[in-house]
Each structure stands twice: as C-alpha cells, then as structure tokens.
Amino acid sequence: MKIDILTLFPEMFINIINQSILARAQKKGLVDIKVHNLRDWALDKHKIVDDNPYGGGAGMILKVDVIDRALHDIKSKTKNLKSKIILLTPQGKIFNQQKAIKLSKEPWLILICGHYGGFDERVRKLVDIEISLGNFVLTGGEIPTMAIIDAICRNIPDVIKPESLLDETHSQIGKIQYPQYTRPERFSPISIKTKQSLIVPKVLLSGNHAEILKWRKNNAK
C-alpha cells in the first residue's frame, strides 16, 4: 500500500512512522508512507497556506488552491494506481475497525490533515471520503491521521501475524477482546488496599482448550 500524508507539521509524524509495526511494515516493503509539507505548494515567498474567511469569523482557513495543487502534483507522479483521498474532518464518518479493514484493501491512500480554523468548503469537492475520529475537537488532523494509518496498516496482509488479528479487540462487531492473564498466577497488589489476592481463572490453567475457548467467548465484551 502507498500512503501520502498532507500536513503543515510533517515533523509530528517522524517518530510515529519510524517505530514499531509501521516501521517494520515499511522495511518489509508492505507499506510506503510519505509525509508532505503543504507549504511546499504555496506560491508566495512566505509560504502562506491559509487566509481569512469571506464574511468574517474567527480563525484562518486553509486555501483550496494550495491543497488542489498538492493533490494534482502527488497524483501526477503515480499513474498506475488509483488513489482514495481522505479528508480528516469533524463532519466525517466515524472511523472504526470495519472501516480500517476496508481501507487496508486500497492500493493508495492520500490523507489531508486540516488545521487552524478549518478549510475552504470547496476542498470537500476534491476528496473521496471524509473521516472523523470521534465527536470531540482536536487542534488538527495530524493525531487522527496517525491513529488511522496505524489501524489500517496492521490489517494489511503480513504486517502482523494473521492469528493476532482474529482474536484482538473489535475483530468481531460489537465485541471487545476477552480478558487475558500472565504470571504470576496469584498476585497481591500493593498499590491498592485489599485483603484478597488477584488470581488467574482456573479454566485458563486447566489445559482444556475447548473449555478455554468457551470461556473466552463467554467473557468477550
């Protein structure tokens, strides 16, 4: 998969895309992530990408012509793939695991991170889909983009072990992952006041795989 990110703050992505699963996916050649500075497509010497909104109002608005030039330039350099352009916006469809799985099958994603007071309404005409991370306000689209590409990339074949995807949180609609335990079998916490030890459910120690599977299904939330 090819992923291009348009942002005013490319340095925010450096550690995210060069660590852990995203880094390994790129080293394997499964994902190609490029981060672009939107200011590279501004035409004036001050690299201005925003302006005051017509009619007045608070905040500065990202300019449609700058975003349009950026999209045209990025798309013109790759002719053999069909891109899906995603705009991060509060009005977008709420992102979830099912959308992550669906988008992981796309060959090429271009994500636009909004910032400041928003963007020229005409930008919506340039994109294929609008996505929101949830019903809350953030400073910009950078953090949602990081979360979205992480969720998408881990569903690309061979990025992580297939069996890990089957049992994890949200792998089934409406289901959160079952409880998990590790050593020690019996634990007495010191950070809270309690006279009881916290113990691992006996069924998980039984070695009976059928009963363990049944317990996990019954306890998935």
Helix (H) / strand (E) containing 186: strand 186-187
For the record, the structure tokens of 210 come out as 């059928």
At 176 the pLDDT is 64
126 and 67 Cβ atoms separated by less than 8 Å: yes
130 pLDDT above the threshold of 90 = yes
Average pLDDT for 22-33: 96
Average pLDDT for 175-197: 85
At 170 the pLDDT is 47
**Residue 79 banded pLDDT, cuts 50, 70, 90:** confident
Question: Taking Cα atoms as reference points, which of 78, 74, 80 lies closest to residue 112?
Answer: 74
What pTM value is reported for the model? Answer: 0.81
DSSP states along 24-89: HHHHTTS-EEEEEEGGGG--STT---EEPPTT--SS-EE-HHHHHHHHHHHHHT--SS--EEEEEE
20 backbone φψ class: left, alpha, beta (φ>0; ψ -120 to 50): left
Average pLDDT for 78-97: 93
Average pLDDT, the chain: 90
For 142-161, the pLDDT digits (tens) are 999 999 999 999 999 999 87
State the first-to-last Cα distance of the chain, in angstroms, to the nearest integer.
32
CATH class of 2-164: alpha beta
Q: Domain segments of the chain: what residues?
A: 2-164, 179-219
For 191-220, the pLDDT digits (tens) are 888 888 999 999 999 999 999 999 999 988
Which of 2-6, 44-48, 139-143 ranks highest by mean pLDDT?
2-6
- Reduced 3-state DSSP string for 54-65: CCCCCCCEECHH
For 93-123, the pLDDT digits (tens) are 999 999 999 999 999 999 999 876 689 999 9
* Lowest mean pLDDT, pick from 69-73, 109-113, 139-143: 139-143
At 115 the pLDDT is 79
Question: Taking Cα atoms as reference points, which of 48, 77, 78, 82 lies closest to residue 65?
Answer: 48
Cα 92 to Cα 88: distance, rounded to the nearest angstrom: 7
**Residue 8 banded pLDDT, cuts 50, 70, 90:** very high
**Residue 175 banded pLDDT, cuts 50, 70, 90:** low
Average pLDDT for 158-169: 67
Neighbour-count burial of 68, counting CB atoms closer than 10 A to its CB (0-12 exposed, 13-18 middle, 19+ buried): middle
Question: Taking Cα atoms as reference points, which of 98, 99, 96 lies closest to residue 134?
Answer: 96
**Type of residue numbered 107:** P
Per the listing, tokens 């690309």 go with 156
At 59 the pLDDT is 79
**DSSP-derived secondary structure letter, 207:** -
